[in-house]
Amino acid sequence: MKRIAVLGPKGTYSDVAKEKYLSGINSNIETIYYPSIIKAINAIDDNTIAIVPFENSLDGFVLESLDKMISNKLNIVKQLKLSIDFAFVANVSDINDVKDVYCQFKSYGQCLDFITANSFNVIKTESNIESLDRFKLAGKGFGAIIPIHALKEDFPLVIKHISDSKNNETRFFVLNNKRENMGFKNDVEASLVIKSILDRPGILFEILEKFHNENINLKSILSRPDKTGMGNYNFYIECSLGKDIEGFNKLLKSFSNENEYKVNLLGVYEVI
């Protein structure tokens, strides 16, 4: 049986994203929950795909996902987007009596205004549901930041909609370990990693000029250390291709013809 690796436990936003993905395919897939993003990614094999958070509109890229995706040479199958909304819960009725708060490490950056305004001591967790579970076992004076959809019981104190912005959104990638030739019905996007073999002035300009020459719209660019030595970096690039990927194929060919760059295509994929 095919499997999908998900950041657990059940009820995380990754789990919600998984349900959205599975609802669009006709396949019998077993869900396996993992306690961290890295362990979920490392579980990918010939029979196991994974779905991982990749970028939040308030807190930026999930670097654990990006770095493991690059180092493990994984392939992006799909991208999904979810609206994100948080609530604060506590086991005391007065917020001034709350000192310690459980909060997932990426949720922290999305609710920073609320946390700072209340001077909480934050105990970071690997998942939002872990925050909820640990809070339920804690003594008086504890609180937790949890997803709105996980708010299924009464607590002495509940404050809803505590994100720094109402327009809070996270995108997720579905990953596997092999590239497949897929037909696309909708607009597609692409992700790739480019590294210059020789370090010299103007490298980034020349890379970006190639995208411009093919009229390819860049969505984001991020430099990440390639972990081979100080000052050595990969450029992670995302672009929108629409329905026509001919220009993108010409772009990849131009890089391969010059022998000055190492290009790792992470995927051409639809957005659900």
CATH topology of domain 188-271: Alpha-Beta Plaits (3.30.70)
Of 71-75, 96-100, 129-133, 257-261, which range is least confident? 257-261
Q: Distances in Å between the alpha carbon of 121 and those of 37, 101, 148, 151?
A: 24, 6, 22, 22
What residue spans define the domains of the chain? 2-83+168-176, 86-160, 188-271
pLDDT per residue as tens digits for the range 131-159: 999 999 999 999 999 999 999 999 999 99
User: Would you say 265 and 255 are in contact if contact means Cβ atoms under 8 Å apart?
Assistant: no
Express as a percent the part of the chain with pLDDT over 70: 98
Number of C-alpha atoms within 13 angstroms, CB side, residue 152? 6
pLDDT per residue as tens digits for the range 62-93: 999 999 999 999 999 999 999 999 999 999 99
Residues 6+ apart with CB under 8 A from 191: 76, 236, 237, 238, 265, 266, 267, 269
Torsion of CA 116, 121, 126, 128, to 10 degrees: -60
pLDDT band at residue 225, thresholds of 50, 70 and 90? confident
Residue type at position 85: D
2-7 and 29-34 strand pairing: parallel
pLDDT per residue as tens digits for the range 36-56: 999 999 999 999 999 999 999
Fold: same for 2-83+168-176 and 188-271: no
Of 132-146, 162-176, 191-205, which range is least confident? 191-205
Average pLDDT in the 9-29 region? Answer: 92
User: Would you say 40 and 46 are in contact if contact means Cβ atoms under 8 Å apart?
Assistant: no
| Sign of the dihedral through C-alpha 249, 77, 24, 152 | negative
pLDDT band at residue 229, thresholds of 50, 70 and 90? low
Average pLDDT in the 195-214 region? Answer: 87
Residues 6+ apart with CB under 8 A from 25: none
CATH topology of domain 2-83+168-176: D-Maltodextrin-Binding Protein; domain 2 (3.40.190)
What is the architecture, at CATH level 2, of domain 86-160?
3-Layer(aba) Sandwich (3.40)
Please state, rounded to an integer, the average pLDDT across all residues of the chain: 93
The yes-or-no verdict on residue 230 having pLDDT over 80 is no
Residue 231's pLDDT is: 66
205 vs 194: CA distance, rounded Å? 13
Residue 181's pLDDT is: 64
Return the structure tokens found at 111.
């609710």
The yes-or-no verdict on residue 162 having pLDDT over 70 is yes
pLDDT band at residue 2, thresholds of 50, 70 and 90? very high
